[in-house]
Chains A and B, each alone.
Chain A
Amino acid sequence: MRCEECADKLDRFVDRELTNTEALEVQLHLEGCPDCMEHYEFEEHLKRLVKHSCECDKAPTAFRDKLRQILS
């Protein structure tokens, strides 16, 4: 696998959306290519950053209690 092909598949690799065969090919390329590995780790980190940043918001307790009452 060439670096360009790896870069094309990186989003879907990070999203766990490649087939097992494709994912293995990307994994093998990453293990032998420090540049692509660094790019992959960056994309993984960025995805985690988005997730954790947006996950900070939780439904207020009073709202949860109110909903439970309404739905019961």
Chain B
Amino acid sequence: MAEPAAKTAFAEEALTHLDTLYRGALRLTHDPDQAQDLVQEAYLRALRYQHSYQAGTNMKAWLFAIMRNLFWDRFKGSRKDDVSLDDVGEFVLYEKLRDEGARPEADVLDKIAASEVVSAVDKLPPLHREVVLLVDVEGFSYKDAAQTLGVPIGTVMSRLHRARQQLQKSLYEYALESGIVRPSGLGQVPQL
């Protein structure tokens, strides 16, 4: 059993990663109450198993792994036969927008609201969503993401690739629906 001072120091360090865990849990559960329950349970479990944490290693990755394993146990019954994104096909938003005659960065990215990006991330299947959260949002290396998720680096790369394709496709569809870009041949929406 850890000494009280060591326990407090461990808890304080662990709490510096609370925002990462909370937003990860929120993106996985889509529910603030469930996210708080999940994160609280993850912290209690981390405290219980703090002897298995090696000081100096990546605590954020260790905590995230505990949280996401709890998520899969609690909400998915450990079943990771997730929806496949194999049928997305090759979709490169940049090239698609160029084909539409838009200036991809200035005309489109600058006009997409944060809420639409979050919505596109939320629509990804959980196995793909969590890779985007780790690599794109939290800045994990492929290696750290692979360790956190318990999969080979190649799996991280392929899930990330498919997730980004789906994400770009969702953003493209939003850009079309909202009139930020027009379908081929119609050109750019004039600025008022």
The interface of chain A, by Cβ under 8 A from chain B, is: 11-12, 15-17, 38-39, 41-43, 45-47, 49-60, 63-64, 66-68, 70-72
A57 in contact with B164 given A42-B94, A49-B109 (CB within 8 Å): no
A contact face: mostly helix, strand, loop, or mixed:
helix
A15 pairs with B105, CB closer than 8 A: no
Which residues 1-29 in B have Cβ within 8 Å of A in the complex?
A: 8, 11, 14-15, 18-19, 21-23, 26-27
Q: Which residue of A lies closest to B8 (CB)?
A: A72
In the complex, A21→B114 CA distance in Å? 35
Task: List, in ascending order, chain A residues with CB within 8 A of B117's CB.
Answer: 49-50, 53-54
B22 pairs with A47, CB closer than 8 A: no
In the complex, A52→B164 CA distance in Å? 16
B105 pairs with A70, CB closer than 8 A: no
B contact face: mostly helix, strand, loop, or mixed:
helix
B94 pairs with A70, CB closer than 8 A: no
Task: List, in ascending order, chain A residues with CB within 8 A of B164's CB.
Answer: 11
A15 in contact with B135 given A53-B118, A67-B43 (CB within 8 Å): yes
In the complex, A16→B32 CA distance in Å? 32
A58 to chain B, nearest CB (A): 5
A40 to chain B, nearest CB (A): 9
Which of A17, A54, A64, A66 is in CB contact (< 8 Å) with B118?
A54
A70 pairs with B40, CB closer than 8 A: yes
Which interface class (under 10, 10 to 19, 20 to 34, 35 or more) fits B?
A: 35 or more
The interface of chain B, by Cβ under 8 A from chain A, is: 8, 11, 14-15, 18-19, 21-23, 26-27, 32, 36, 39-40, 43-44, 47, 93-95, 104-105, 109, 112, 114-115, 117-118, 121, 132-133, 135-137, 139, 141-142, 157, 160-161, 164, 167-168
A63 pairs with B121, CB closer than 8 A: no
A63 in contact with B105 given A11-B160, A42-B94, A53-B117 (CB within 8 Å): no
In the complex, A70→B39 CA distance in Å? 12
B168 pairs with A46, CB closer than 8 A: yes
Q: Which residue of B lies closest to A16 (CB)?
A: B141
Which of B18, B27, B109, B161 is in CB contact (< 8 Å) with A67?
B18
B173 to chain A, nearest CB (A): 15
A9 to chain B, nearest CB (A): 12
A71 in contact with B15 given A42-B94, A49-B117, A57-B22 (CB within 8 Å): yes
